[in-house]
């Protein structure tokens, strides 16, 4: 979008968003504490919290024990007053889940799409909408403020129209937001899946928000990255940033459908790992990732070696990311970390530490995700919550 003059709305939006992040992470704390964390003045915190309390999304919860002086009044997100829905649409399944306002998962449903190959995008969206309605009814028609949806990419995100441009057929230029909005009548927010994962990880960090650049690398069937700069998702010109799966690490490498050759996906995705295992074994019936994962877990030499190689290749991609973006934190997640996170951590660290300047390696925080749950699904919901706290109009009508 055009870079235009800015006004006061942006101040408050930023400060509200920041206060929410801290308040949720702290669980229960005092206003003064929030003021210290955000470097806002106490009065500012009081003002914003007064709004939040009016809107019933924050509440006071008794007193906190202090050492000296007046006791603090504990405040916390009023997590059970409203709900949000998180949706993750993947290539072979989708999930719909209910969350409280702190981003805590309440209930989750997963629907397989393996046998639905003849369905087009709007059919699937219909299924998603039905699941949403069901989950709402099953939970006593609780008040839902928003729906956050995570989608696989790459996609063009301009003008709120999301068109998947590779992978699944029939998703080109589909206006997912509009279709879901029509069917559910609740505000819908879309996000690229890796971005959602990155956002969830940022929330989960112990001392988050102090970092300028966080990258979440989703290494699964494909490889994508979510890039967060100063607490905000970085999307690039068309919303396709973070397509690191199609970054080349080998100029003489294998051709890829994207036109490039030597794409990282060809060397570090689970799809390719499984392919290589099958090539080596040459069995009658090809094995799948689940099987390969088991073999790696059991220490099968061939599989472990191929896995290690994939990890090292991923490391080579991460070296490039570091040189270009100089992030504070890189978190590796998704399918490829699951067979053996320890090996992944070791191989990637080994590769990266050798491939970048010592001064950079000393400062960077590179780790395999230890996220408990589905960060992409959670991230979709969390982004919706963030929108809610910033756009009171969304739910003011509902009160």
Partner DNA sequence: CTTTATTAATAAATTCTTTTAATATATTTA
Partner DNA sequence: TAAATATATTAAAAGAATTTATTAATAAAG
Are the C-beta atoms of residues 170 and 120 closer than 8 Å to each other? yes
**Within 278-317, which residues bind a second copy (CB under 8 A)?**
313, 316
CB of 187 to DNA, least distance (A): 20
Interface with DNA by CB under 7 A: which range of 64-72, 242-250, 281-289, 358-366? 64-72
* Partner interacting with residue 290 (select from a second copy, DNA, none; CB below 5-8 Å by kind): none
* Partner interacting with residue 247 (select from DNA, a second copy, none; CB below 5-8 Å by kind): a second copy
Contact residues for 207 (Cβ-Cβ < 8 A; gap 6+): none
105 by DSSP, 3-state: which? strand
Interface with a second copy by CB under 8 A: which range of 7-15, 111-119, 124-132, 388-396? 7-15
82 by DSSP, 3-state: which? coil
* Partner interacting with residue 42 (select from DNA, a second copy, none; CB below 5-8 Å by kind): DNA
Based on the shown chain and the rule CB under 7 A, indicate whether residue 18 belongs to the binding site for DNA: no
**Within 200-219, which residues bind a second copy (CB under 8 A)?**
209-213
The 10 Å Cβ neighbour count of residue 87 is: 26
Based on the shown chain and the rule CB under 7 A, indicate whether residue 32 belongs to the binding site for DNA: yes
* 390 φ/ψ angles, rounded to the nearest 5 degrees: -95, -20
Are the C-beta atoms of residues 287 and 277 closer than 8 Å to each other? yes
Interface with DNA by CB under 7 A: which range of 5-13, 87-95, 207-215, 296-304? 5-13
Based on the shown chain and the rule CB under 8 A, indicate whether residue 229 belongs to the binding site for a second copy: yes
Compare residues 43 and 396 and give the one whose CB is closer to DNA: 43
Compare residues 28 and 240 and give the one whose CB is closer to a second copy: 240
Based on the shown chain and the rule CB under 7 A, indicate whether residue 140 belongs to the binding site for DNA: no
**Nearest of 353, 371, 280, 282 to residue 315 by alpha carbon:** 353
- CA 132 – CA 147 distance, rounded (Å): 9
Contact residues for 105 (Cβ-Cβ < 8 A; gap 6+): 97, 98, 99, 373, 377, 378
The 10 Å Cβ neighbour count of residue 120 is: 14
Compare residues 168 and 320 and give the one whose CB is closer to a second copy: 320
CB of 183 to a second copy, least distance (A): 27
Based on the shown chain and the rule CB under 7 A, indicate whether residue 43 belongs to the binding site for DNA: yes
CB of 389 to a second copy, least distance (A): 15
Number of residues in contact with a second copy, rule: CB under 8 A? Answer: 75
Omega within 30 of 0 (cis) for the link into 315: no
Question: Among 48, 129, 145, 264, which residue sits at the site for DNA (rule: CB under 7 A)?
Answer: 48
Contact residues for 159 (Cβ-Cβ < 8 A; gap 6+): none
Compare residues 18 and 125 and give the one whose CB is closer to DNA: 18
The 10 Å Cβ neighbour count of residue 330 is: 22
Whose tokens are 């991230």? That residue is 379
Are the C-beta atoms of residues 16 and 48 closer than 8 Å to each other? yes
Compare residues 253 and 392 and give the one whose CB is closer to a second copy: 253
Per DSSP, 244 falls in state G
* Partner interacting with residue 166 (select from a second copy, DNA, none; CB below 5-8 Å by kind): a second copy
Q: Which residues lie near DNA (CB under 7 A)? A: 5, 7-9, 11-12, 15, 30-33, 40-44, 46-49, 63, 66-73
């Amino acid at each position: 979008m055009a870079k235009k003059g800015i006004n006061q709305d942006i101040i408050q939006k930023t400060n509200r968003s920041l206060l929410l992040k801290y308040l949720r992470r702290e669980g229960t704390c005092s206003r003064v504490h929030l003021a210290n964390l955000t470097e806002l003045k106490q009065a500012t915190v009081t003002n914003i919290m007064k709004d939040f309390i009016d809107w019933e999304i924050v509440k006071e919860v008794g007193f906190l024990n202090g050492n000296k002086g007046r006791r603090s009044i504990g405040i916390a997100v009023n997590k059970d007053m409203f709900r949000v829905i998180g949706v993750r649409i993947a290539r072979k399944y989708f999930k719909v889940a209910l969350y409280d306002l702190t981003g805590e998962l309440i209930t989750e449903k997963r629907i397989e799409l393996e046998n639905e190959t003849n369905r087009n995008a709007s059919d699937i969206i219909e299924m998603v909408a039905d699941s949403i309605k069901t989950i709402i009814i099953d939970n006593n028609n609780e008040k839902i403020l928003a729906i956050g949806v995570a989608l696989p990419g790459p996609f063009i995100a301009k003008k709120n129209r999301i068109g998947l441009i590779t992978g699944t057929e029939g998703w080109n230029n589909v206006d997912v937001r509009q279709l879901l909005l029509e069917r559910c009548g609740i505000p819908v927010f879309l996000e690229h899946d890796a971005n959602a994962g990155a956002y969830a990880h940022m929330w989960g960090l112990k001392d988050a928000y102090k970092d300028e650049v966080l990258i979440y690398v989703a290494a699964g069937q494909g490889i994508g990255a979510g890039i967060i700069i100063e607490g905000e998702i970085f999307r690039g010109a068309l919303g396709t940033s973070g397509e690191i799966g199609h970054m080349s690490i080998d100029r003489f490498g294998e051709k890829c459908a994207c036109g490039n050759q030597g794409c990282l996906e060809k060397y570090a995705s689970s799809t390719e790992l499984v392919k290589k295992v099958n090539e080596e074994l040459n069995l009658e019936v090809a094995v799948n990732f689940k099987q390969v994962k088991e073999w790696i877990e059991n220490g099968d030499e061939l599989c472990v070696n191929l896995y290690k190689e994939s990890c090292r290749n991923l490391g080579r991609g991460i070296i490039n990311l570091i040189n270009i973006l100089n992030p504070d934190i890189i978190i590796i997640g998704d399918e490829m970390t699951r067979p053996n996170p320890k090996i992944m951590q070791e191989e990637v660290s080994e590769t990266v530490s050798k491939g970048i300047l010592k001064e950079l390696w000393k400062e960077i925080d590179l780790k395999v995700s230890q996220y408990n749950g589905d960060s992409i699904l959670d991230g979709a919901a969390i982004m919706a919550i963030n929108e809610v706290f910033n756009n009171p109009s969304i739910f003011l009508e509902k009160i």
